[in-house]
Chains A and B, each alone.
Chain A
Amino acid sequence: AQSVTQPDIHITVSEGASLELRCNYSYGATPYLFWYVQSPGQGLQLLLKYFSGDTLVQGIKGFEAEFKRSQSSFNLRKPSVHWSDAAEYFCAVRSNFGNEKLTFGTGTRLTIIP
């Protein structure tokens, strides 16, 4: 069964600092990988996704993520965070065999300090 681990429950960074949120997945083949963001009181917004091809994917709001097969990881990065990036970030995995469900990690809450 597929699973996702986000080892960091809560991360605090200073505005303008760089950010890396960790995500590790467990799946027998190359999965489809996603990062979603949830702002307080809001739904889940897709930041970026990886299906195949270039292992470095660019998303919205200046985020990027790198798929590393050898490490079963799909870490999310941003070179310089803004106060508006404070939110909950979820990594998700989906099978590439027609199984439709997304399996989410437990999320990482990001706090930005001035």
Chain B
Amino acid sequence: EPEVTQTPSHQVTQMGQEVILRCVPISNHLYFYWYRQILGQKVEFLVSFYNNEISEKSEIFDDQFSVERPDGSNFTLKIRSTKLEDSAMYFCASSEGTEETQYFGPGTRLLVL
């Protein structure tokens, strides 16, 4: 069964550093998403992406965040200058269409020190 994959599974970084989280969505999916889950809190939507453009973003997704689909298979989330409060589990998801189910990857646990 096809699945969403994410790398790395864990990342530790120093405050102020840039990090790039990578995702490989399911191959025939067209819509891509990032969510995050701060420890002990709910899963929160960050951004959705379609046709090489952001289609929707939350208030969390400020200028320090960016997303990109650099090639035909990867979907990345970049955090330019990490803050302590960026420490969270980041989930990538993909779907065939806006009406379709979103399938989630296993997540990347980011720890900012």
In chain B between 86 and 107, which residues have their CB closer than 8 angstroms to a CB of chain A? Answer: 91, 93, 95, 98-99, 101-107
In chain A between 71 and 104, which residues have their CB closer than 8 angstroms to a CB of chain B? Answer: 90, 92, 98-104
Q: How many A-B residue pairs have CB under 8 A?
A: 49
Complex contact B35–A102 (CB within 8 A) = yes
Among A44, A92, A100, A106, chain B packs the most CB atoms within 10 A around the CB of A100
Q: Give A49 to B95 CA distance when docked, in angstroms.
A: 14
Chain B residue with Cβ nearest A96:
B99
Partner of B45, one of A34, A41, A102, A106: A102
* Residues of chain B contacted by A102 (CB below 8 angstroms): 35, 43, 45, 102
**Number of residues on chain A facing chain B (CB within 8 A):** 22
Summarize A's interface: helix, strand, loop or mixed. loop
* Residues of chain B contacted by A44 (CB below 8 angstroms): 43, 91, 93, 104
**Number of residues on chain B facing chain A (CB within 8 A):** 26
Residue pairs across A and B with Cβ atoms less than 8 A apart, 23 shown, are: A34-B101, A36-B104, A41-B106, A42-B106, A43-B106, A43-B107, A44-B43, A44-B104, A45-B104, A46-B101, A90-B42, A90-B43, A92-B43, A98-B98, A100-B33, A100-B48, A100-B95, A101-B45, A101-B58, A104-B42, A104-B43, A104-B44, A105-B42
19 more contacts with CB within 8 A, not counting A100-B55, A100-B56, A101-B48, are A42-B106, A43-B105, A44-B91, A44-B93, A45-B104, A51-B99, A90-B42, A90-B43, A92-B43, A100-B31, A100-B33, A100-B95, A101-B33, A101-B56, A101-B58, A102-B43, A104-B42, A105-B42, A106-B41
